[in-house]
Structure 1
Amino acid sequence: MEAPEFQLKGIQKRETYQRMNYLCQASHLVFLFSPTLSRFYAETMKKTAKKLVLRMHPRVKKLICKSCNALLVPGVTSKTRIRGKREKHIVVTCLQCGKFRRQRKKHGPQKHKTLVDNSER
């Protein structure tokens, strides 16, 4: 009897992720024509994830302003700067509400040696 409930929860999560994906894509497509509708789609996506305690992908989270739910498009609705003397970080500022977010700057590609490289000596 527990197996169908478990499957039902898995199906519900999958459908919710599909809905969130659809809302994210719709938000991007509608953005040029109606920024307010785009903001509504992003807000609905965040509410859906919060209600069912699901995690949004970090890339998707970085595309939406935390305070006004605007889609952060560099040069249009956001300003992106590289700052920091000690540790470089990226500052993304929302031009709608003025809220900013700091992200650590990732350095270039790291040179890792694989097992194949080590065995060629």
Structure 2
Amino acid sequence: MAFNMKGRKEKDVLERMNYLYQASHLMAIGAKNPIAASYYGYVMMKCAQKSVLRMDPDVKRSVCKCCLSPLIPGVTAKVRLVSKPTKMVRWKCLICDATKQYPTKGGHELWADRPEALIEMLQYTPKPKKVTGSNRCKIIKKSVNASQPSLITATCELLNTIENLSQGLDSCVAEGSCSGSNTGNDLNQNSEVSMVDSMVEN
């Protein structure tokens, strides 16, 4: 299935909900602060309601409906298998004593887990930023001591020269008029760029 690369207005809301969900778990497990965990869960649910977004069933089932705290087995929740009157899984919140019951029927599958429920897949991976010579110069100026202006100037000039050569190489590759010598120049440019990068990192 093809990915839809177009951005959506709900992207920021989904990222915020993801952050709040992780913060709620962190407060419940690491900080042992059930009040903060419940508050982050409350804000997450309100974000979903305000933006009219459907939460994944696995995420929704891991949050208490009463106090909105994360249901973590052994920490904030107790999980038991019940056989009467029907086979089901019972979750009990240890903060507000609210219970949830989910039947365990053989072959039962949620609608969200079925293939026909998937309409499209969205990819929110940002495009990698192209590092230009001017950007490299800014990085060098921040990392190199200001008492060495000659080194900064020489390095920036070298980077600008490499960038101009690489642009010329790209244009000649697009036109199909490159010779064997250009390939050697490309290798030299890559080695010089890697050398400058190692200088910046050091």
TM-score by length of 2: 0.45
Superposition CA RMSD, Å: 1.9
- Which residue of the partner structure matches residue 27 of structure 1? 24
User: For structure 1, which runs of at least 5 residues remain unmatched after alignment?
Assistant: 1-6, 109-121
Percent identity (aligned): 41
Q: Evaluate the alpha carbon distance shift between residue 39 and residue 11 of structure 1 in structure 2; reply closer, same or farther with a 3 A threshold.
A: same
The separation in 2 between residues aligned to 1:68 and 1:88, in whole angstroms, is 26
* Structure 1 position 67, deviation (Å): 0.7
* Structure 1 position 86, deviation (Å): 5.6
- Which residue of the partner structure matches residue 113 of structure 2? none
Cα contact 2:89–2:102 (8 A) shared by 1: yes
The separation in 2 between residues aligned to 1:65 and 1:95, in whole angstroms, is 10
Q: 1:85-106 deviations in whole A, cap 9, x for unaligned?
A: 4631100011111111111226
Give the secondary structure class of the aligned counterpart of 1:12: coil
1:65 equivalent to 2:57? Answer no
Q: How does 1:35-46 map to 2 (within 5 A)?
A: 35-46=34-45
The separation in 2 between residues aligned to 1:106 and 1:35, in whole angstroms, is 33
4+ residue runs over 3 A deviation: none
Q: How does 1:1-121 map to 2 (within 5 A)?
A: 11-31=8-28, 32-33=30-31, 34-85=33-84, 87-105=86-104, 107=106
More helix by share: 2
Q: 1:20-62 deviations in whole A, cap 9, x for unaligned?
A: 1111111112223122111111110001101111111111111
Q: 1:60-114 deviations in whole A, cap 9, x for unaligned?
A: 1111110111111112211111112463110001111111111122659xxxxxx
